[in-house]
Amino acid sequence: MESLRLLGDAPRVAHVLAALAAILLIAFAGRSLARVLRQPVVIGEIVVGLLSGPAVIALFGRDTLDAALPGPVFDVVKLIAQAGLVLFLVGLAHTLGAADSGGPRRGGTLWVATGALVPPLLTGLLLAGLVLASDDTAARGDAPLPAFVLMVAVSMSITAVPVMARILADRGMTRSAAGQTALAAALVIDAVGWLLLTLAISLGAGSLDGVLHSVGALAFGAVCALAVRHGLRTRAARSLCARLPRTAAVLLGAVALAVALAMEHLGMTAVLGAALVGLAIPRGTNAPWERAVTAVSRAGGALAPAFFVVTGVTVLTGSFTDTSWRLIAAAVVLGCLGKGLGGYLGARRGGRPPRTARRVAVLMNTRGLTELIVLQAGLSSGILTGPIVLALIVMALTTTAMTGPLLTLLDRAERRPTTAAYAVATESRVR
């Protein structure tokens, strides 16, 4: 509430607007850099946003960062970032709920989803075991052990649907067998991941009363989601959406924010409230809500750079010295092994040829923004600490940045035999 009261102070408002303008400029620079490096633009936004706070401290000192983002202003920016995250998640959860569960290739997709989910969960258990075995108290924190282990496992298993979709579109792979298989499997994986995330947060309560309180909060969220679903199916709501789509988008965003904040007030994370609202929105050809959902998600995406900057300031500025390089290296190696090997074996077991399976394995290693959302949920619920979050952020950015170059290498490697065979055939005809 203090952050909201500050909005009535004109100098503070000007400071907040200046901070948001600077964040948007940082995001623009990140997108431009990503295009130069032939990476998805969201990767540039994430990396530059995360590193902006630590870079200011390294170059100009902590006092400069505190002057640019004093506590009251930072709190408002953090609130705006959280609102953007909630709005973006409405569209993401709606997409997850719309995953196609049928079709002739269903069995193969489920095998890929299983291969790219179970092994990463196991590598997550290994990473959590490494933290426990090394007695790394900074990374371990004081959360209940089952909640900590499950949260780390979930963090290793996520695949970023939005970033993967962008990579597929940029490379013209949307209609390819590898692209369609990987995207469908990623939708299944992330849907299961959200369920496991909810379980981990509930286990983080640490006591029977806490678990019961978490169950009550989830029940409240489920009731809100059912009310939203019932309300959006009424004739009045459908008529409003058809006649006034912008008004419908504003109301939908307001409802999502209200449910998310209520869930957070009840001790859960706002992420779950947003996800429940997104899943509750009706889908199908007769549902007129797609335009409104897209508008809400785009508004959240426009505010996403603030989330990256806030995450960088709150996590990275205080975790570099507390995070061991061994933990970071283990997270990257295990992240690649779990998704890469599991995705390949799942694709082969599902009947995909080796060429397609290799591309599926590479695509399943894409984590990006969805991983940051899961890590934020773990951090805000007190289950994950700054050092383990930093290690997993490095893993997420590394594995996502690898996707494009690895696909390019596969394309080049598979073109060489064809080119060589053509040259041999041509030489034989000349002779």
Where are the domains positioned within the chain? 2-416
Q: What single string gives the DSSP state of each residue in 49-70? A: HHHHHHHHHHHH-HHHHHHHS-
**pTM (2 d.p.):** 0.77
Query: pLDDT (tens digit, 9 = 90+) per residue, 223-255?
Result: 998 999 898 888 888 888 888 888 889 999 999
Query: pLDDT (tens digit, 9 = 90+) per residue, 29-77?
Result: 998 988 888 787 878 888 898 888 888 888 888 888 888 888 888 888 9
Whether 117 and 154 have beta carbons less than 8 Å apart is answered as: no
Q: Retrieve residue 391's tokens.
A: 């290690």
Distance between CA 23 and CA 30 in Å, rounded?
Answer: 10
Whether 119 and 189 have beta carbons less than 8 Å apart is answered as: no
Distance between CA 400 and CA 207 in Å, rounded?
Answer: 37
Query: pLDDT (tens digit, 9 = 90+) per residue, 359-382?
Result: 999 999 998 778 888 898 898 888
Whether 148 and 140 have beta carbons less than 8 Å apart is answered as: yes
**Chain center to CA of 387:** 19
Q: Give me the pLDDT at residue 122, please.
A: 96
CB-based burial, 63-82: b 16+ in 10 Å, e otherwise: eebeebbeebbbbbbbbbbb
Query: pLDDT (tens digit, 9 = 90+) per residue, 278-319?
Result: 888 887 655 678 888 888 988 888 888 888 888 888 777 666
Whether 357 and 108 have beta carbons less than 8 Å apart is answered as: no
Domain 2-416, classified CATH 1.10.10.10, yes or no: no
**The amino acid at 79:** L
Whether 367 and 334 have beta carbons less than 8 Å apart is answered as: no
Q: Retrieve residue 20's tokens.
A: 């948001």
Query: pLDDT (tens digit, 9 = 90+) per residue, 153-167?
Result: 999 999 887 788 778
Mean pLDDT of 205-216: 72
Question: Is pLDDT at 103 greater than 70 in this prediction?
Answer: no
Question: Is pLDDT at 430 greater than 70 in this prediction?
Answer: no
